[in-house]
């Protein structure tokens, strides 16, 4: 019985380590994705500039 408890404890420790590693990786990926999205919205992707130009061309008519 005590032997089964030792195996169970070591398995849960490995699982916790794996979960911590996954959480750390997801956090790093999430931070990078948020930074990339913020950078894209700040620099403009061309789509935001197309709308005012279309509005100006309608006023010229």
Confidence (pLDDT) at 45: 55
Q: How far apart are CA 48 and CA 29, in angstroms?
A: 27
Give the C-alpha separation, 33 to 39, whole Å: 10
Residue 1: half-sphere exposure toward Cβ, Cα within 13 Å: 0
User: What is the rounded CA–CA span in Å between residue 52 and residue 60?
Assistant: 13
- Alpha helix stretches (DSSP H) within 2-46: 2-43
How far, in Å, CA of 57 to CA of 27, rounded? 45
Low-confidence ranges of the chain (pLDDT < 70): 1-11, 44-61
Give the per-residue pLDDT at 36: 86
Note the pLDDT of residue 54: 54
């Amino acid at each position: 019985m005590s032997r089964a408890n030792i195996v169970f404890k070591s398995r849960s420790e490995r699982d916790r380590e794996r979960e911590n590693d996954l959480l750390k990786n997801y956090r790093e990926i999430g931070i990078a994705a948020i930074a990339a999205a913020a950078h894209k919205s700040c620099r403009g992707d061309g789509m935001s500039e197309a709308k005012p130009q279309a509005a100006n061309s309608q006023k010229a008519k």
